[in-house]
Amino acid sequence: MVICSNKRIVHSTGVKHQGATSQHYSPTKVMCLKITYNCFLVSSGIILVPDKGVGVSAVIMDGKAISKEIQTEITQEVAQFVEQAGITPCLAAVLVGDDPASEVYVRNKHRACERVGITSQMHKLPASTTQKELLTLINQLNLANDVHGILIQLPLPEGIDTLLVLDAVDPRKDVDAFHPENVGLISQGRPRFLPCTPHGVQQILDRCGIEMSGKHVVIVGRSDIVGKPMSMLLTARNSTRGPQAANATVTLCHSRTRNLPEVCRSADVIVAAIGVAKFITADMVKPGAAVVDVGINRTEEGLCGDVDFEKVREVAGHITPVPGGVGPLTVTMLMYNTLDAAKLFAGR
């Protein structure tokens, strides 16, 4: 039997395959492209995992650098739009309560607005704010002609119906793409706005030269914010980056998925968004696969993602770090949507 993936070749017979560059073959180990791999037999075939300490390391997909690149593009588009339309895009952020993490996120979004030329408003409400008071503010922002995008920072305090609040945002100003009308448009392949984190993942993959068309993508996590919309973006016929960044075959996994490690090993691309620290381990990754870590978890050792980064990077072909991977893109794609919302307002 011969299994070949990007010139990494296993020979159960020990017979040399044309095009290989190794000098040593055996049923248990094979030196391929000067890399020693351990061979593991699973029900779907043989998988390869590099020997510990071999020095193999995945290409790091630098979300910070990609984010800066996109923000430069947005800055130019904003300047051109302001000159042509006479309208400055504006994002209104609503923060209820005193959650420190939420305050940091909102502050980062405000700074991003400043960098790209978008104005921003901060509406900070006390934790004692009632649902009625919050809905009143949202209605005022919906009617304000100088506000083009509305962001409701989550989580909201207990006693406030999150879905009711998100549904109250004008779908034409819903730059998080949480409103059911916008979700429905995405499912039909005619999006008004794209959800920020999934769109950021798509941008990272394409700008790192990883084509999605025809690839098998395994998404671990079925949340409404990442997993579900991610599956819709990757299975769409086209994308903001072109058809090569879409048209994937997607498997959406969750807590009831059977044989999850085996499913993950079949993937060309893994998107981890499950909210469990270091859940994706090296034996769950096919050699050479791209691994995108959407998770961010606070542990005693500090911040980490849903992927066991240090070990998985020895197997994967490409991988995003945490922090510095998907996170910066989430904020940047919010700027992208706010500009689109202003264009929508100008063309109404």
Does 169 share its domain with 198?
A: no
In a domain, residue 181? The reply is: no
The pLDDT of residue 20:
35
Answer yes or no: do 301 and 272 share one domain: yes
Domain check: are 213 and 171 in the same one?
no
Residue 58 is assigned to a structural domain of this protein:
no
Calpha distance 281→283 (Å, rounded): 6
Is 232 in the same domain as 168? no
**Which residue among 141, 176, 211 closes a domain?**
176
Shared domain for 203 and 288, answered yes or no, is yes
Same domain, 200 and 321: yes
- Supply the mean pLDDT for the chain: 88
Query: 260 and 137, same structural domain?
Result: no
CB 234 within 8 A of CB 212: yes
152: CATH: 3.40.50.10860
Same domain, 129 and 28: no
pLDDT number for residue 19: 35
The rounded distance, in Å, linking the Cα atoms of 126 and 43 is 56
Q: What is the pLDDT of residues 235-265, one digit of tens each?
A: 999 999 999 999 999 999 999 999 999 999 9
pLDDT class of 101 with cuts at 50, 70, 90: confident
Query: What's the confidence (pLDDT) of residue 54?
Result: 46
Asked if residue 311 belongs to a domain, the reply is yes
* Residue 212, in any domain of the structure: yes
Q: Which domain holds residue 304?
A: 194-327
**Are the beta carbons of 88 and 114 closer than 8 angstroms?**
no
CA distance 48 to 51: 9
pLDDT in tens, 16-70: 333 333 333 333 333 333 344 555 555 555 555 545 444 558 999 999 999 999 9
For residue 344, the model assigns a pLDDT of 97
- Give the pLDDT confidence of 252-302 residue by residue, as tens digits: 999 999 999 999 999 999 999 999 999 999 999 999 999 999 999 999 989
In angstroms, the Cα distances linking 276 to 222, 255, 300, 309 are 13, 12, 14, 13
pLDDT at position 90 over 60: yes
Closest-CA residue to 347 (of 142, 140, 84):
84
Is 95 found in the same domain as 169? yes
Do 147 and 204 share a domain, yes or no? no
Same domain, 236 and 290: yes
Active site amino acids: 109, 153, 176
223 and 321 together in one domain: yes
